[in-house]
Structure 1
Amino acid sequence: MTNKSQHPLEKILRSRIAIIDGAMGTTIRTYGMKEADIRGERFNDATKGLLNNGDLFTLTQPQMIGDIHRRFLEAGADIIETNTFGATSIAQSEFFVDDPREHGGRKDPAFYQKVIDDSFLNNLAWEINEQSARQCREWADRVANETGRQRFVAGAIGPLTVSLSNSPDAEDPGFRVVTFDQVKTAYIQQVRALIAGGADLLLVETIFDSLNAKAALVAIREVFDQDGKELPIMISAAVGRGGETMISAQTVEAFWNAVQHAKPLSVGLNCSLGPNLMYPFLEELAEKADVAISCYPNAGLPNPLSLTGFDLGPPDMARYLGDFARGGLINIAGGCCGNTPEHIAAIAKALEGRPPRKLDLVCAVESYASESLA
């Protein structure tokens, strides 16, 4: 296979540590948006509160979202994420569908089948994903043209608000609120819309339930096979203090074993723990995985008295991520909750000139081309 089959991001990952952006939700809060701002005219009649539905700002406040992308890019991000963490019909149903538990019922597969079949939710999810990818694409290309440095759009695929691994009913451990096929169907729509909008990569992130992630990876594979187009996949898990995924409770090594079949471009850890607690788990993953390693932690622990809602400032994050780089652990670095463009700028400056973790991506990248031609 020639170099023509290699994804452009591979060259960066071999030569330096790539920078991924920070927290969209945290940065949105600094703009002081109110309920009326997220509703606009379009969602003015919604019966439930929408302010926590940050993905919806893609449609109602596109200028603000574009400004956030611009700021992260100018801070030094090579990769910016779409504002689509909860942009599935399942996640959006939390804001637009009455909760049956408030009327003596419960959420179950029958409830979520109605969600999956709901045309309003399906159309809304598609629009958020496609428009967000287009917004990212526009800003990534604009800044790339201005700076002469290519930037990449990662389609953000979040973990959902439901679990396939655990039952919410202590008296019925076999009960699940949703089925694997329902989760897969919701993810299929999200993946197609992100690709339609111009995403360069697909990022399955903040994985607390490995079975949910499996559904996302199966959805991605089905879309690739059916549509004849493939993108590199990035995978990132959230782990607890013991280094286990939070609901499925897999160790870091077990998690990698569960997802390596997807031949990701990168695997990593994000969210959950602050960087001061993440080092040993990142070290284990870097030892076990044979692909690029990403890390974008929270800015420490939540702190409602802090301006960003988290303890660590830009110098703190720069110091911790610098330690990861000195340890030879990372190829992609950034920040999750609590990390603003200022945090990313500090991280990018601290990692400038630092060598990336050594890796051989040829097999992983060539596999995309080989499978596309099969």
Structure 2
Amino acid sequence: MKTAQQHPLAKILSERIAIIDGAMGTTIRTYGMTEADIRGDRFKDSQKDLLNNGDLFSLTQPEMICDIHRRFLEAGADIIETNTFGATSISQSEFFVDDPRETGGRKDPAFYQKIIETPFLNDLAWEINEQSARQCREWADRIANATGRQRFVAGAIGPLTVSLSNSPDADDPGFRVVTFDQVKDAYKHQIRGLIAGGSDTLLVETIFDSLNAKAALVGIKEVFDEDGKELPIMISAAVGRGGETMISAQTVAAFWNAVQHVNPLSVGLNCSLGPDLMYPFLEELSEKADVAISAYPNAGLPNPLSPTGFDFKPEDMARYLGEFAGGGLINIAGGCCGNTPEHIAAIAQALDGRPPRHLHTHHAEPALGKIRA
């Protein structure tokens, strides 16, 4: 853990609960953007709808994205995430490449090999990652200088639109649409863009397929080894009501066992469940893991009739995250889907002055010592 411990963010996590920002997608929706807005001049001739491709706004509506970063920082966020949840060639292909299944074909490794070799998609993925990291960096530094409190940029690495753990074909359970190396290579390209743009940490988040996450973590390690620069790694999983990762069905304890070898700065849970349902799984992770714990849940379960699409208001999130803090469970707190800057401000206020989870370490135990060696 040497690298992580020397990082200024690690010091903060041992002294107080750090605040991470809220939902980019939810907050974008409050700006009333249209299909024409996301296309701009650059993508005006695209054949497919782009409005759900929120990462693209970093290129076509940078003023709005920077305004959102500013609002989260002013709400009290110590850590802001890059707008890069789907910024890999694989995920971007959903918006720019015709689906072969519509013409009797199928998505398979041959299809995705072409995707990761397509210059347009590679250039686009690079630009989204680098530009989004630069936008975050500029605002994190600007607010830090204005307030005298350092702020951090987390390069957001999302789960992809394809799964390495599951077959989409019920008649062929061994079939995979994509290979481990293809996923890893797409992630490596993203990781390099995030580092080039000035990220402080890399955040592998909303993990519902542990094998996809493994590919991201292997990719990170290879980039560090090949490029000679290391950043702290943050890891966050999404779990279902039973406390397992959604697709690969790993329990929280098994998930930690699968990722602890990378010595992350933090591990935690996000998205998925509302905070009211997350407590027991967070508690289990807190008992097992010997690194900082993060929690940034959805604002309850989806509700299309609510203004944000989710039930919980800022004061609800503040209360629940306060319970996590009261239980001594967290070092990082924030919100995922449904959480606006107002939610983050309420959470930051509720946790101000609350002690962080005590960072206990078990490095002396022989079993862990063997694993780490």
TM-score by length of 1: 0.95
1:5 CA drift (Å): 6.7
Contact 1:10 1:361 in 2 (8 A): no
Which residue in 2 is equivalent to 1:90? 90
Which residue in 2 is equivalent to 1:131? 131
1:171 counterpart letter in structure 2: D
Contact 2:4 2:264 in 1 (8 A): no
Which residue in 1 is equivalent to 2:342? 342
Contact 1:168 1:176 in 2 (8 A): yes
1:360 CA drift (Å): 4.7
Which residue in 2 is equivalent to 1:367? none
Which residue in 2 is equivalent to 1:371? none
Q: How many pairs were matched up?
A: 363
Q: Secondary structure in 2 aligned to 1:267?
A: strand
Q: After the TM superposition, which residues 1-374 of structure 1 pair with which residues of structure 2 at under 5 Å, given as runs?
A: 6-360=6-360
Deviation >6 Å, runs of 4+: 1-5
> What value does the CA root-mean-square deviation take over the aligned residues?
1.4
1:4 CA drift (Å): 11
1:11 CA drift (Å): 1.5
1:350 CA drift (Å): 0.3
Contact 1:91 1:160 in 2 (8 A): yes
Between the aligned partners of 2:135 and 2:361, the Cα distance in structure 1 is 29
Between the aligned partners of 1:357 and 1:4, the Cα distance in structure 2 is 17
Q: Secondary structure in 2 aligned to 1:315?
A: helix
Question: Measured at CA, do residues 77 and 362 of structure 1 come closer, stay the same or move farther in structure 2, by a change above 3 Å?
Answer: farther
Between the aligned partners of 2:362 and 2:136, the Cα distance in structure 1 is 28
Q: Secondary structure in 2 aligned to 1:172?
A: coil
Once the two structures are superposed, residues 162-196 of structure 1 have per-residue CA deviations (whole angstroms, 9 ceiling, x without a partner) of 00000000000000000000000000000000000
Identity score, percent: 85
Question: Measured at CA, do residues 127 and 361 of structure 1 come closer, stay the same or move farther in structure 2, by a change above 3 Å?
Answer: farther
Contact 2:4 2:265 in 1 (8 A): no
Between the aligned partners of 2:20 and 2:30, the Cα distance in structure 1 is 20
1:48 counterpart letter in structure 2: K
Which residue in 2 is equivalent to 1:366? none
Question: Measured at CA, do residues 70 and 349 of structure 1 come closer, stay the same or move farther in structure 2, by a change above 3 Å?
Answer: same
Between the aligned partners of 1:57 and 1:64, the Cα distance in structure 2 is 8
1:70 counterpart letter in structure 2: R
Between the aligned partners of 2:4 and 2:67, the Cα distance in structure 1 is 34
Q: Secondary structure in 1 aligned to 2:270?
A: strand
Q: List runs of 5+ in structure 2 lacking aligned partners.
A: 364-373
1:361 CA drift (Å): 7.3
Once the two structures are superposed, residues 263-315 of structure 1 have per-residue CA deviations (whole angstroms, 9 ceiling, x without a partner) of 10000000000000000000000000000000000000111111100000000
Between the aligned partners of 1:47 and 1:10, the Cα distance in structure 2 is 45
Q: Secondary structure in 2 aligned to 1:121?
A: helix
Question: Measured at CA, do residues 361 and 28 of structure 1 come closer, stay the same or move farther in structure 2, by a change above 3 Å?
Answer: farther
Between the aligned partners of 1:254 and 1:302, the Cα distance in structure 2 is 28
Once the two structures are superposed, residues 96-130 of structure 1 have per-residue CA deviations (whole angstroms, 9 ceiling, x without a partner) of 00000100111000000000000000000000000
Between the aligned partners of 1:239 and 1:352, the Cα distance in structure 2 is 27
Between the aligned partners of 2:295 and 2:160, the Cα distance in structure 1 is 21
Q: Secondary structure in 2 aligned to 1:50?
A: coil
Q: Secondary structure in 2 aligned to 1:204?
A: strand
Between the aligned partners of 1:3 and 1:255, the Cα distance in structure 2 is 22
Question: Measured at CA, do residues 103 and 252 of structure 1 come closer, stay the same or move farther in structure 2, by a change above 3 Å?
Answer: same
Between the aligned partners of 1:2 and 1:262, the Cα distance in structure 2 is 12
Contact 2:5 2:11 in 1 (8 A): no
Question: Measured at CA, do residues 341 and 280 of structure 1 come closer, stay the same or move farther in structure 2, by a change above 3 Å?
Answer: same
Between the aligned partners of 1:2 and 1:177, the Cα distance in structure 2 is 38
TM-score by length of 2: 0.96
